[in-house]
Amino acid sequence: MSSSPSPANSANAGNGGQDLNLLHFLDKVRLAATGDAEEDEGEDSPTELNTINSAGGFLVVSPDKLSVKYTNMNLHGHDVGVVQANRPAPVKCLTYYFEIFVKDSGVKGQVAIGFTKESFKMRRQPGWEVNSCGYHGDDGFLYRGQGKGEPFGPKYTKDDTVGGGINYATQEFFFTKNGAIVGKIPKDIKGHLFPTVAVHSQNEEVLVNFGKKKFAFDITGYEVSERNKQQMAIEKISIPPNIGYGLVKTYLLHYGYEETLDAFNLATKTTVPPINIDQGNAIDEDDSSYALKQRKTLRQLVRNGEIDAAMVKLREWYPQTVQDDKSVVCFLLHCQHFIELVRVGKLEEGVKYGRLELAKFVGLTGFQDIIEDCFALLVYEKPEESPVGYFLEDSHKELVADAVNAAILSTNPNKRDVQKSCHLHSHLEKLLRQLTVCCLERRSLNGDQGETFRLHRILNNNSSRR
C-alpha cells in the first residue's frame, strides 16, 4: 500500500510541480550525516534515594543515600517510613530492576519493596494505595492498591536480598528473593514509576542497590531469556515459499542492476525446475522493469562522476524530471558535480559552479542545510577525513544515482494512481519501513515503554538456532 498520496504533485504529468516524494532522498543524505549513532534514548536511571520527598519524620536516610532506617514508633498504618528513588525507572528498555538488602528486620519485619508514582502518600506502604505495588516481607503478600493484598511469595527478613523489577515487553512487575524469581503480576499502572522502599517497625534497616553493585539476581540472563521468548514466537511464523525470490528480483529491477538481474535470472532458471512463484504471493514486477536500460545508463554515468553527461541525458529523455532546474534530482546532481570538482582539488571552479547552480536552492527549506554541509568540504585539507567526508564516498554517489532512478520510475505512465510513491522504494525497502513503523506503533500502544526497534538486531543477531 502506498504512503500518503501526494495530491497535486505528480512528476509524470509534467505540470511543473515538484515531486515532493523525492525529498525523501534529502533525508537519506541527512541520515548519512548523522552516521549510525544509535539513537540514545537519553534516559537517566535512579541512582540513590530521594531525601526530599520522603516520609521525613519516620525514617532517616544514610549520607550516601543508599540505606534507610526506621526511627519512629509504628503506632498505626499511617506512619510508614517510605522513600522513593531520586528518579523514576527508565522506560525505553526491556526491563528495569533494583534490589534491597534487609540489614535489620527490627521488631516486626515490615519491610517492603515496590513501585509508586510521584504523587504517592509518603506515609503508607507501597501497595496500600492505588497506583502502587509492593511486595511485603512480613507476610510475603503482594499489595497493589487494595488494602488487602494477595499471597504472592515467601516472607523475607534479615540478610535477605529482595529485588523488584518491571518487564516493559510483557508489561509486568516481577520480584525476586536471593537471586531467584518469586513471581510476577500484570502492571496496570501507567506512566513513570519510582522504585520504592519502606520500613515500618523500630530498628528496621534496609540497604538499596540501584546497580552500582552486582545484583544477586541475574537480570542480564533474565533479559536474554525474555528476548528469546520473543524470538521464538517470531521464528514460529511460516514463511511463504519463494517470497525472497520475488523481493530480490523486484529489488534488482527497481535499482536497475541489469547485469545482476541477468545473473539472477540465469541462476534461478537452472534450479530444476525454475522457481515456481506461488500465485498468492506474486509480487507485481511489471512496472519495475520500466526504462531499465535508461536507468542503468544513468546510474553508470553518475557512478563514473560524469554528471554533465548525466544531466544532458536526463534532460533529453525525461525532461519532466528536470523541470526548470529546480527539482530535487537537479539539486542532487548539481551537488554531486560540485563534489566531483572538490574531489580533484578544483576548488575555485567548484565555488564558481556552486554559486551558479546551487545558489538558487538556498532559502528553499529542505536544501539549505545540505548546501552548507557541501560547501564545508572546501574548508578541509583532507575533506575525505572531515565530518562531511561522507559526500565523497561511493555510497553518496549511489544515493544520487538512486534518486535519478526513482525520478525516472516516477515517469512511468502505466502507474496506477494509488502507486504514486512506489517508485521511491523497492518492495524490500517498503517491507522494512513497514516493520519499523509497526514496531513503533506497538511500543506506543505500550505507553511508549520498551526497547526501541533496532533493525540491526535482526540483521546481526541472526542466531544459528533453527
Partner 1 sequence: MYTDMDPRQFEHSVVDDNDIHSIVMSYLLHNCFNETADSLASCTGVKQPSDDRDNIQRRKQIIHFVMEMKALKAVELTEQLAKDLLEKNKDLHFDLLRLHFVELVCARKCNEAIEFAKTILAPFGTVHKYVEKLEDAMALLAYDDPEKSPLFHLLSSEYRQQVADNLNRTILEHTNQPSYTPMERIIQHVTVVRQYLTEENGKDAFPPFSLKDSLKG
Restricting to residues 382-401, name those near partner 1 by CB under 8 A.
394-395, 398-399
Of 273, 365, 379, 382, the one binding partner 1 (CB under 8 A) is 273
> Does 402 sit near partner 1 (CB under 8 A)?
yes
Contact call for residue 202 and partner 1 (CB under 8 A): no
Q: Which is nearer to partner 1, 54 or 405 (CB)?
A: 405
Name the 3-class secondary structure at 59: strand
Using CB under 8 A as the binding criterion, the count of chain residues that bind partner 1 stands at 78
Instruction: Scan residues 435-464 and list those touching partner 1 (CB under 8 A).
Output: 435-442, 445, 455-456, 458-459, 462-464
Task: Return the amino acid letter for 345.
Answer: G
Task: Name which of 65 and 303 has its Cβ closer to partner 1.
Answer: 303
Whichever of 379 and 459 has its CB closer to partner 1, that residue is 459
Q: How far is the CB of 304 from partner 1 (least distance, A)?
A: 12
Tell me which DSSP letter residue 22 carries: G
Instruction: Give least dist CB 255 to partner 1, A.
Output: 8
Interatomic CA distance for residues 41 and 351, integer angstroms: 40
- Please give the single-letter amino acid code of residue 291: A
Work out which of 280, 286, 324, 385 binds partner 1, going by CB under 8 A: 280
Instruction: Let me know the angle formed at the C-alpha of 301 by 295 and 302, rounded to the nearest 5 degrees.
Output: 90
- Helix residue spans in 197-291 (DSSP H): 219-235, 243-255, 258-269
Provide the greatest CA pair distance for the chain.
Answer: 92
Whether 111 contacts 205, CB under 8 Å = no
365 lies in the binding site for partner 1 (CB under 8 A)? no
Q: How far apart are CA 363 and CA 341, in angstroms?
A: 24
| Cβ-contact 191, 198 below 8 angstroms | no
How much is the CA Rg of the chain, to the nearest whole Å?
Answer: 31
CA dist., res. 161 & res. 151, Å (int): 19
Can residue 316 be called a binding residue for partner 1 (CB under 8 A)?
A: no
**Site for partner 1 (CB under 8 A): which residue of 40, 44, 259, 324?**
259
C-alpha cell at 174: 516481577
Backbone angles phi, psi at 461, to 5 degrees: -90, 50
CA torsion 179→180→186→189, rounded to 10°?
-20
User: CB-wise, 224 or 263, nearer to partner 1?
Assistant: 263
Q: Could you tell me the smallest distance in angstroms from the CB atom of residue 413 to partner 1?
A: 15
CA distance 128 to 122: 11
The one segment of 106-114, 177-185, 263-271, 342-350 that binds partner 1 by CB under 8 A: 263-271
- Contact (Cβ atoms closer than 8 angstroms) between residue 414 and residue 12: no
Any contact of residue 271 with partner 1 (CB under 8 A)? yes
Q: Which is nearer to partner 1, 177 or 443 (CB)?
A: 443
Amino acid at 398: E
Rule CB under 8 A: say whether 158 interacts with partner 1: no
Minimum distance of partner 1 from residue 250's CB (angstroms): 8
The answer to whether 8 contacts partner 1 (rule: CB under 8 A) is: no
User: How far apart are CB 376 and partner 1 at their closest, in Å?
Assistant: 22
Q: Which is nearer to partner 1, 136 or 425 (CB)?
A: 425
Choice between 119 and 434, CB closer to partner 1: 434
User: Nearer Cβ to partner 1, position 158 or 343?
Assistant: 343
CB nearer to partner 1: pick between 3 and 131: 3
- Give me the amino acid identity at 58: F
Q: What angle do CA 116, 120, 121 make, to 5 degrees?
A: 135
Q: For the purposes of burial, counting CB atoms within 10 Å of the CB of 338, is it exposed (0-12), middle (13-18) or buried (19 or more)? A: buried
Q: Does 272 bind partner 1 (CB under 8 A)?
A: yes
Does 416 participate in binding partner 1 (rule CB under 8 A)? yes
Among 243, 277, 292, 309, binds partner 1 (CB under 8 A): 243
Stretch that binds partner 1, among 76-84, 152-160, 242-250, 354-362 (CB under 8 A): 242-250
Please confirm whether the linkage preceding 273 is cis (ω < 30° from 0).
Answer: yes
Q: Which is nearer to partner 1, 75 or 270 (CB)?
A: 270
Residue from 14, 15, 16, 31 touching partner 1 (CB under 8 A): that is 31
